[in-house]
């Protein structure tokens, strides 16, 4: 290879690597922005972060495509949490920090995958209209992203909540299946998912590991998940 050809190849490689790093930053910004939007119940803005064929996995159900995503955010969340208002409501706390993101962009720079975490604080102040309450929540994301017309969007937001606990009693006293998973699909349930997740997720005190989309960073081997003892205290 001539010196000029070698230099050209090196520049091409560096440009590609720089492009991937730029993608990583844009995807991180996208997911961080999702957290800020959902914190303040900006559900219309949340929907606009998704690809047209994007999905959301939430509490045992899959909401498919734009119609499903809008059903979850604009109809279910917006009506339940803010009485149809697109924005914050007095006394309503719903913080969603986006943490520990491991971002992998495909070599063709058209798709990406992210593993991340949210640790949420939520509740309703005692002076607000409704039943005062306060709880903690934590969960794992295993998301997919797609570049459409040069813009990164959420292709699949897969949120697996792992634990809930009231602020007063803590997670050590969380009742079994404290938050029920979806059991009925749309249209039988007008606000339900389009499909149920199989197997059905279980919350704390179950301790299931969500499969990793990436291999072990040192050995390069697939990360083996052994959930054989994660639910042994449950009685179905």
Q: For the segment 149-176, what is each residue's pLDDT rounded down to a tens digit? A: 999 999 999 999 999 988 888 888 888 8
Contact 46, 73 (CB under 8 A): yes
CATH number of the 3-196 domain: 3.10.450.50
pLDDT digits (tens, 9 = 90+) for 32-90: 999 999 999 999 999 999 999 999 999 999 999 999 999 999 999 999 999 999 999 99
Contact 153, 51 (CB under 8 A): yes
pLDDT digits (tens, 9 = 90+) for 13-33: 899 999 999 999 999 999 999
Q: What is the pTM of this model?
A: 0.93
Contact 225, 211 (CB under 8 A): yes
């Amino acid at each position: 290879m001539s010196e000029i050809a070698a230099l050209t190849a090196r520049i091409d490689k560096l440009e590609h690597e720089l492009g991937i790093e730029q993608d990583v930053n844009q995807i991180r910004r996208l997911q961080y922005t999702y957290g800020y939007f959902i914190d303040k119940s900006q559900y219309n803005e949340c929907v606009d972060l998704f690809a047209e064929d994007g999905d959301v996995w939430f509490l045992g159900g899959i909401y498919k495509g734009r119609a499903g995503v809008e059903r979850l955010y604009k109809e279910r969340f917006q009506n339940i949490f803010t009485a149809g208002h697109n924005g914050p409501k007095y006394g309503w706390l719903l913080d969603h920090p986006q943490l520990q993101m491991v971002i992998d962009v495909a070599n063709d720079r058209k798709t990406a995958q992210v593993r991340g975490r949210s640790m949420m604080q939520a509740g309703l102040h005692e002076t607000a209209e409704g039943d005062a309450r306060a709880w903690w929540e934590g969960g794992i994301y295993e998301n997919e992203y797609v570049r459409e017309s040069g813009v990164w969007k959420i292709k699949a937001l897969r949120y697996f909540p792992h634990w809930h606990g009231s602020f007063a009693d803590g997670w050590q006293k969380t009742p079994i299946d404290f938050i029920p998973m979806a059991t009925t699909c749309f249209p039988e349930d007008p606000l339900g998912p389009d499909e149920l997740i199989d197997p059905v997720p279980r919350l704390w005190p179950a301790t299931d590991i969500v499969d990793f989309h990436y291999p072990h960073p040192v050995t390069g081997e697939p990360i083996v998940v052994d959930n054989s003892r994660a639910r042994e205290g449950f009685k179905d």
